């Protein structure tokens, strides 16, 4: 199972005020809040931990076959040796009950994109991020789906009629015509950025 999540840092700053009273307490554990408190860039620390929870959540939904809102139960393992310079790919671990989720985040000054899966080898994951013209749902949705299909078409050198359909739990699947494909996908968008992860193991 895979998951991914993207945070547009500029839009997050405008549309989400994590500084408001009780916000951090509702979302983060004591340990996570300590990490944020001591971070050189608190804004990035907040959205990094958030995107890790969100990407892991998408895997949990697939396992439990139900949706819920429990950000504090998705717990980031805090690495005390983390220098928080965020120069390269940032690896993480999120737990939820008995589940252990591995995450890999790409952190830029514009966005944070995290992909998640249940093992630590990320080489089978095809990942991409892109900008979206308009910060509006239809544009975000269309661009993101288009980019996944484009990527998959190039990857498989196929011009089949690919489509993305979502289940009742809003888990997306890739279809060729009416046939559901085995390849797993996860899509996300926020503000002017979109991203996806595509599990390519089944292609080999």
Q: Binding residues for other proteins, per CB under 8 A? A: 12, 15-18, 20-23, 26-27, 50, 54, 67-72, 136-137, 170, 190
Q: In the complex, what is the shortest distance from the CB of residue 22 to other proteins, in angstroms, rounded to a whole number?
A: 6
For other proteins, which is the closer residue by CB, 154 or 168? 168
Q: In the complex, what is the shortest distance from the CB of residue 26 to other proteins, in angstroms, rounded to a whole number?
A: 5
57 three-class SS? helix
CA distance 41 to 18: 13
Tell which residue, 11, 2, 5, has the closest CA to residue 192: 11
Q: In the complex, what is the shortest distance from the CB of residue 148 to other proteins, in angstroms, rounded to a whole number?
A: 19
Q: DSSP secondary-structure letter at 80? A: T
For residue 138, give the H/E element and its range: helix 137-156
Q: How distant, in Å, are the alpha carbons of 87, 93, 110 from that of 34?
A: 21, 17, 24
For other proteins, which is the closer residue by CB, 16 or 110? 16
104 three-class SS? strand
Q: In the complex, what is the shortest distance from the CB of residue 69 to other proteins, in angstroms, rounded to a whole number?
A: 5
Cβ–Cβ under 8 Å, residues 148 and 189:
no
For other proteins, which is the closer residue by CB, 20 or 204? 20
């Amino acid at each position: 199972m895979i998951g991914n999540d993207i945070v547009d840092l500029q839009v997050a700053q405008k549309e989400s005020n994590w500084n408001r009273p009780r916000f951090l307490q509702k979302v983060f554990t004591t340990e996570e809040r300590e990490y944020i408190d001591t971070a050189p860039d608190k804004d990035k620390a907040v959205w990094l931990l958030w995107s890790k929870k969100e990407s892991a959540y998408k895997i949990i939904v697939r396992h439990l076959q139900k949706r819920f809102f429990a950000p504090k139960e998705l717990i980031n393992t805090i690495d005390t040796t983390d220098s928080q310079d965020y120069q390269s790919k940032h690896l993480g671990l999120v737990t939820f009950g008995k589940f252990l989720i591995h995450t890999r985040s790409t952190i830029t000054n514009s966005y944070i994109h995290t992909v998640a899966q249940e093992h630590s080898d990320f080489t089978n994951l095809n990942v991409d991020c892109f900008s979206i013209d308009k910060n509006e749902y239809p544009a975000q949705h269309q661009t993101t789906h288009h980019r996944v299909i484009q990527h998959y078409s190039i990857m498989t050198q196929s011009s089949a009629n690919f489509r993305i359909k979502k289940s009742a739990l809003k888990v997306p699947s890739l279809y060729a015509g009416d046939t559901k494909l085995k390849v797993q996908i996860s899509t996300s968008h926020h503000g002017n950025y979109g991203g996806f992860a595509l599990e390519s193991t089944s292609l080999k």
